[in-house]
Amino acid sequence: MANSVAITGAAETTKIGKVPDVSELELHCDAAINAMNDAGLKPADIDGVCAVGEYAGLVTLNLGISPTWVDGTMVGGCSFFFMLRHAAAAIAAGYCKTVLITHGESGRSRVGSMNWNPEPYSLYGQFELSYGMMDPPAMFTVPFLRYMKDYGISEEKLAMVPVVQREWAAKNPRAFARDPITVDDVLNSRMIAWPFRKLMCCLVTDGGAAVILTSADRAKDGAEKPVYLLGSGEAVETPLIGQLSDLKSPRAFYTAARNAFSSSGISHDEVDHLMLYDAFAHTPVWGLEATGFVEPGEACDFFAERHTAPGGKLPTNTSGGGLSYTHTGMYGMFALQESIRQLRGTAPAQVEGAKVSVCHGVGNMFEAGATLVLSNECG
Amino acid sequence: MVDLERWIPVPTPETKHYWDGAKAGKLLLQRCDDCGNVYFPPRSFCCKCCSRDIEIFEASGRGILLSYIISHRDVPGYTAPYSIAIVELEEGPRMISNIVGCGQVPEALVLDMPVEVTFLRLSDEIYLPQFRPAGA
């Protein structure tokens, strides 16, 4: 299945950041139309649709598409990587030929947005939300003190992650937060959930993005340079934070990343560019270790020593990421867009000659991990 | 963000024994009679071997503080600062809880410190297991 599919269309919503005049469903559709224009396709050319947040059926209704294959796998912020992977299998199986995957979320303005409504009888509701664990800053952060203590990571060192990513955002005109920040700025920003300060938490924005996937053979006729899927992995562990088996290396993140590498045949020294989901300062710390670029406990040093920064040996989160570029809620689609831009050579902070990009996502806190290995060469 | 006055768990048939136990001041766990696995949260079968031959027993109520945050935002039922922790019970399972009965500051919340269960009344039926420093 490797090399059998390629991304031929990719685009974000026309507006991003604060978009109070567009509803969530229209963000999906705006991104979809931009992606179809990018690929030189019309709704009649699409026969597969994937969406979460809004139901795929509503997206297809609004766009006038009548798909013969749909997927709505909901695992939070990396759902798009799961769906892209499932779409690759569906195309290979002959279920459909051209798949549109959409994201739209009015995370900041909450215009026409789907609300999260956990039930008090769910396992979450009985055993976790009941302890004041009401939103991601009070959920995703809880296991990380164990990592910090066992590996001797200081708050100053953790603060380097957002500092370095802001340097990338400064190069990106569409980034939400572009002003330079220092370690002191991070540590002096408002305390949210000790040891996490506000500048260690992602943005809350509005926006959307979409991609179009087709077989590698058909992709050659597209309007844009194809981006090939060389390998991928997905894994699920636990949506309950207290039931995480390894606090220092969440299993879903690790398993997805390792399977993506092994299925791609790509070695780490062939990777030119990396995107690591960054809902918080520590999320890419886990991601860098899960993907195997460093050994357990080494990631914070790798960030602090500027290896991921502009000019570093492994350019990472080059859009500014969820911490500085944009974070609508399910951020993964924006990480994927930046991987595609880098491989097309159109990123605002372009990595010269980038041929292979790895995109690693997480979802519903520790529930899911998914990783894509992408290239502008079909391998 | 959940908009509620205070989050109160609602038991299901499979978890009712746990909340009945908490009301009686007991922290109840389950053990598989076939493979010996001790597990949480409650369910009617073993989560390792799927045996339905399981028993309910009272845990010691002792554990250690494995990890935590100190939330600095008020939510219904909680006034900041308050801790949200992962506690590892003596019997093996881990659970989310709050560490109470001590300052909600890093100096008082030391990783690996021993903790013991205490129960907070939320309603006539629901008492929430929380933990405090052992022997406090």
A136 to chain B: which residues are within 8 Å by CB?
none
Q: How do strand A48-51 and strand A98-106 relate by DSSP bridges? A: parallel
The residues pairing with B87 across neighbouring beta strands, listed in sequence order, are B65, B95
A21 pLDDT higher than 90: yes
A133 to chain B: which residues are within 8 Å by CB?
84, 96
Question: Which of A313, A300, A321, A80 has the alpha carbon at shortest distance from A209?
Answer: A80
pLDDT tens, A319-346?
999 999 999 999 999 999 999 999 999 9
Residue of B nearest to A129 (CA): B7
Among the partner-chain residues A132, A149, A242, the one whose CB lies closest to the CB of B78 is A132
Question: A147 to chain B nearest CA, in Å?
Answer: 9
Q: In what order do the strands lie in the sheet with A206-215?
A: A69-71, A48-51, A98-106, A206-215, A5-12, A227-236, A368-375, A356-363, A273-276
Inter-residue contact B88 to B94 (CB < 8 Å): yes
Sort residue A228 into left (φ over 0), alpha (ψ -120 to 50) or beta.
beta
Instruction: Read off the pLDDT of each residue in A259-286 and give the average, rounded to a whole number.
Output: 98
Question: A12 to chain B nearest CA, in Å?
Answer: 26
What's the pLDDT score for residue A116?
78
Question: To probe the interface with B, which of A124, A127, A153 has the most B CB atoms within 10 Å?
Answer: A127
A1 pLDDT higher than 50: no
Query: Cβ of A247 and B9 within 8 Å?
Result: no
Which residue shows structure tokens 């920003």?
A189
Exposed e or buried b for every residue in A133-166, given b needs 16+ CB within 10 A?
bbebbbbbbbbbbbbbeebebebebbbbbbbbbb
Instruction: Give Cα A11 to chain centroid, integer Å.
Output: 14
Phi, psi of A80 (to 5 degrees): -65, -30
B78 to chain A: which residues are within 8 Å by CB?
132
Element (H, E) at B21: helix B16-23
Question: B135 to chain A nearest CA, in Å?
Answer: 22
Exposed e or buried b for every residue in A54-88, given b needs 16+ CB within 10 A?
bebeebbeebebebebbbbbebbbbbbbbbbbbbb
Query: Cβ of B10 and A119 within 8 Å?
Result: yes
Question: A118 to chain B nearest CA, in Å?
Answer: 8
A314 pLDDT higher than 90: yes
The span from the CA of B17 to the CA of A1, in Å, is 49
Question: To probe the interface with A, which of B96, B105, B113 has the most A CB atoms within 10 Å?
Answer: B96
Q: Residue B52, exposed/middle/buried by CB under 10 A (0-12, 13-18, 19+)?
A: exposed
Instruction: Read off the pLDDT of each residue in A53-76 and give the average, rounded to a whole number.
Output: 95
Query: Cβ of A132 and B82 within 8 Å?
Result: yes
The span from the CA of A316 to the CA of A283, in Å, is 13
Is the preceding peptide bond at A162 cis, omega within 30 degrees of 0?
A: no
Among the partner-chain residues A129, A135, A142, the one whose CB lies closest to the CB of B69 is A142
Report CA-CA distances (Å) from A243 to A143, A185, A247, A276, B41: 11, 34, 9, 23, 9
The span from the CA of A87 to the CA of A80, in Å, is 10
Element (H, E) at A93: helix A79-93
Assigned architecture for domain B16-133: Beta Barrel (2.40)
What's the pLDDT score for residue A114?
83
Instruction: Read off the pLDDT of each residue in A277-293 and give the average, rounded to a whole number.
Output: 98
Amino acid at B25: G
What's the predicted TM-score (pTM) here? 0.97
Among the partner-chain residues A196, A241, A247, the one whose CB lies closest to the CB of B96 is A241
Inter-residue contact A102 to A59 (CB < 8 Å): yes
Question: Which of A257, A284, A273 has the alpha carbon at shortest distance from A375?
Answer: A273
Query: Cβ of A138 and B66 within 8 Å?
Result: no
Query: Cβ of A142 and B96 within 8 Å?
Result: yes
Mean pLDDT of chain A: 96
Find the helix packing angle between A155-169 and A283-290, rounded to 10°: 90
What's the pLDDT score for residue B136?
74
Give the residue with greater pLDDT, A228 vs B6.
Answer: A228
> Domain extents for chain B?
16-133
What's the pLDDT score for residue B4?
53
Amino acid at A18: K
CATH of A5-112+203-375, one of 3.30.420.10, 3.30.420.240, 1.10.260.40, 3.40.47.10: 3.40.47.10
What's the pLDDT score for residue B108?
98
Instruction: Give the three-state DSSP class for B58.
Output: strand
A123 to chain B: which residues are within 8 Å by CB?
41
Of the pLDDT bands very low, low, confident and very high (cuts 50, 70, 90), residue A221 is confident
Question: B3 to chain A nearest CA, in Å?
Answer: 9
Q: Say whether residue A190 is in contact with chain B using an 8 A CB cutoff.
A: yes
The token duo for A361 is 């996502």
Inter-residue contact A367 to A238 (CB < 8 Å): yes
Residue of A nearest to B111 (CA): A146
The span from the CA of A218 to the CA of A224, in Å, is 12
Query: Within the 30-89 window of chain B, which residues sit less than 8 Å (CB to CB) from chain A?
Result: 41, 66-73, 75, 77-78, 81-82, 84-86
Element (H, E) at A88: helix A79-93
Q: Which of A13-27, A107-121, A190-204, A319-333 is predicted least confidently?
A: A107-121
Among the partner-chain residues A127, A129, A247, the one whose CB lies closest to the CB of B2 is A129
What's the pLDDT score for residue A223?
77
Q: Say whether residue A124 is in contact with chain B using an 8 A CB cutoff.
A: no
Element (H, E) at A212: strand A206-215
A112 pLDDT higher than 90: yes
Q: Which residues have C-beta within 8 Å of that of residue A248, sequence separation ≥ 6? A: A143, A146, A147, A150, A151, A296, A297
Query: Within the 37-96 window of chain A, which residues sit less than 8 Å (CB to CB) from chain B?
Result: none
Question: Which of A81, A82, A366 has the alpha carbon at shortest distance from A250?
Answer: A366
Inter-residue contact A43 to A333 (CB < 8 Å): no
A133 pLDDT higher than 80: yes
A125 to chain B: which residues are within 8 Å by CB?
7, 9-10
- Percentage of the residues of chain A whose pLDDT score is greater than 90: 94
Question: A192 to chain B nearest CA, in Å?
Answer: 5
Phi, psi of B119 (to 5 degrees): -125, 135
pLDDT tens, A242-256?
999 999 999 999 999
B2 pLDDT higher than 50: no
Query: Cβ of A241 and B15 within 8 Å?
Result: no
B131 pLDDT higher than 70: yes
A2 pLDDT higher than 60: no
Of the pLDDT bands very low, low, confident and very high (cuts 50, 70, 90), residue A307 is very high
Phi, psi of A344 (to 5 degrees): -85, -15
Q: Say whether residue A121 is in contact with chain B using an 8 A CB cutoff.
A: yes
Query: Cβ of A134 and B15 within 8 Å?
Result: no
Q: Which residues have C-beta within 8 Å of that of residue B72, sequence separation ≥ 6? A: A190, A191, A192, A193, A194, B80, B81
Inter-residue contact A280 to A141 (CB < 8 Å): yes
Q: How many of the other CB atoms lie within 10 Å of CB of B5?
A: 7
